[in-house]
Amino acid sequence: MAPLSLPLSSLLKQKDCLQRAFIFCNVLKSLHHRPLTSRLWKRNFGAVAHGVGQLLSLQPRTENYAASVCSSSSDGQDMTEMMRSVYNETKRQTEDLIPAILRNAVNPDTIFANNEMSLRDTEVYGFDYDYTLAFYSRNLHTLIFNIARDILITNHRYPEGLRNYEYIPNFAVRGLHYDVQKGLLMKIDAFHYIQLGTVYRGLDPVPDEEVIAMYEGCHVPLEIMSDFYGKSSHGQTMKQFMDIFSLPEMTLLSCVNDFFMRHNIDYEPVHLYKDVKEAIRDVHVKGIMYRAVEADIGKYICYGEQSYAVLKKLSEHGKKMFLITNSPFDFVDRGMNYIVGKDWQDLFDVVIVQADKPGFFNDRRKPFRRVTDKGALLWDRIHKLEKGNIYKQGNLYEFLRLTGWRGSKVLYFGDHIYSDLADLTLKHGWRTGAIIPELRKEIKIMNTEQYVHMMAWLQALTGLIEQMQVHRDPASQALVKEWIREREAMRSQTKDIFNAQFGSLFRTYHNPTYFSRRLSRFADIYMPSISCLLNYDFKHTFFPRRTPLQHESPFWPEHSPSGISVSSQTTESD
């Protein structure tokens, strides 16, 4: 969401609006006869008022409204009337801020930083292939779903009725967890809490009461969460789907569950999960998907021009480049010919296919093997990784020995938080860049007037509830409960605006998702596509926002990734 505070130039233009925000902030202080302690209120009004006070030397003019509220309260006016009056004024002040917020929209072509990083120090750039250099249309997800569904029917003897199910493009989002034993797809936050309303059995939501009963609350214990790479193994019952290719798998799991339940077929969820997993694997491993894409590449690969522009720019600036992908050479060659041209290999100093990530980063035993242009494997020992050659498998430790590309001078881009980035940043000190294609759509939604209006009022209403809950008389408590119901309805609306089933990829209401937590830990920078690099020179330093901890006050204006002066805040979306 666009931050609630404004660029300095806009502050001057919005003097009247911001004066009212400053005044109202002081109204609340006067109302409670104590300092305003809520960070929510500081986020919405305090930072703006502070900036205006510093820049315009405003004198708080709280005499009229604040005095009238306080005096009326001292005259014995019903407390609920006073609270309603504050509610209405809060809403008015929030409405006044909306136009200024909309003018501070986030640029979807921005590179966002989790960790300070300078391109000046980066000498070597590495890339994954799928969803990093090559971006696919939704036709590919439909293809994977249909092939895997037919494999279930043909090879695993699942009912023919499953052919009536088609891929649902907007059903699932990346980063969801699947309870293998219960057959439930759900969204979990950074603190291992299930977001109620996002638990699905088949294609239908599970009532909150049933979820709470099954899990004895909303918390998922660490011992049943997925392993480090998001897999369900060694007793863990949760599988996390982090790959964009997993969207068809989640949808197929849900469709098969749905079919069995609607036809009252008794089934074992663990067997269903394993069969679907095997069918999806066959689509990739047996080359079915690769052959289909190669046969009609224009149908499945989209907007490759910008990927080529990035590679060309890096090459012109003398940067070393390498490609490490799990895809086979023929598939990569066909795609890169389409995106870049027949001379695509000239751009890369090293090309490694079928690398078997994440094992490539940890298993020291697999040696590199050279692949001919015809796909034949040679048997000679590899003493040097040479430009123009294609290599298969291998391991990172041998890669480091042969190239000498170590530490923070290397920046590697990939779309899979675990398989592409985690080991590199934790064990080898490489810089990492996450490609999150969904980010562009989410930013565009957050820039809409509908979203800004809902989010600004949701934040303000949350602060109002936090402040007014101290009034314990029955009438006041009834009014606070009314506001809480309004807040809950708005939270559902802000979820649905992203995805009706699971909401945003990045938030579960006010908390980050489990996906966001991993993204912030394993990626130094993240962006919708590598084309965002075209907006920066190679001396640019990326600075993360200094987000205040809960016990800190936002004393200083921060900077948005687009260079706009803002104040850090926590939003409550999805």
In this structure, are residues 306 and 440 in contact, taking their beta carbons and an 8 Å threshold?
no
Tell me which DSSP letter residue 168 carries: -
Question: Is 346 assigned a catalytic role?
Answer: no
Biggest alpha carbon distance in the chain?
Answer: 94
Dihedral of CA atoms 513, 528, 492, 216 in degrees, nearest 10, equals -20
Q: Identify the active-site residue in 16, 96, 109, 130.
A: 130
**Angle CA 360–363–369, to nearest 5:** 60
150 known member of a binding site: no
In this structure, are residues 454 and 493 in contact, taking their beta carbons and an 8 Å threshold?
yes
Q: Which residue, among 148, 101, 149, 145, has the nearest Cα to 3 in the 3D structure? A: 101
Q: What CA–CA distance (Å, rounded) separates 386 from 380?
A: 14
CA-CA distances (angstroms) from residue 347 to 313, 323, 463, 551?
A: 10, 10, 54, 49
Q: Identify the active-site residue in 128, 189, 420, 423.
A: 128
415 known member of a binding site: yes
For 177, the token pair is 């967890």
Say which residues have a Cβ less than 8 Å from residue 43's Cβ, sequence separation at least 6: 4, 459, 463, 554, 567, 569, 570
In this structure, are residues 290 and 331 in contact, taking their beta carbons and an 8 Å threshold?
yes
Question: Is 524 assigned a catalytic role?
Answer: no
| 3-state secondary structure (DSSP) of residue 505 | coil
For 182, the token pair is 């219960």
CB under 8 A, 24+ apart: contacts of 7-13? 7/104, 7/564, 7/565, 7/566, 8/51, 8/55, 8/557, 8/565, 10/100, 10/103, 10/104, 11/51, 11/52, 11/55, 11/56, 12/55, 12/56
Q: Where are the alpha helices (DSSP H) in 365-448?
A: 396-403, 423, 438-446
Provide the 10 A C-beta neighbour count for residue 145. Answer: 24
346 known member of a binding site: no
Q: Which residue, among 194, 249, 414, 252, has the nearest Cα to 323 in the 3D structure? A: 414
Tell me which DSSP letter residue 563 carries: S
Q: What CA–CA distance (Å, rounded) separates 143 from 435?
A: 23
Active site residues: 128, 130
Q: What residues form the annotated binding site for GMP?
A: 130
As annotated, the binding site for Mg(2+) includes 128, 415
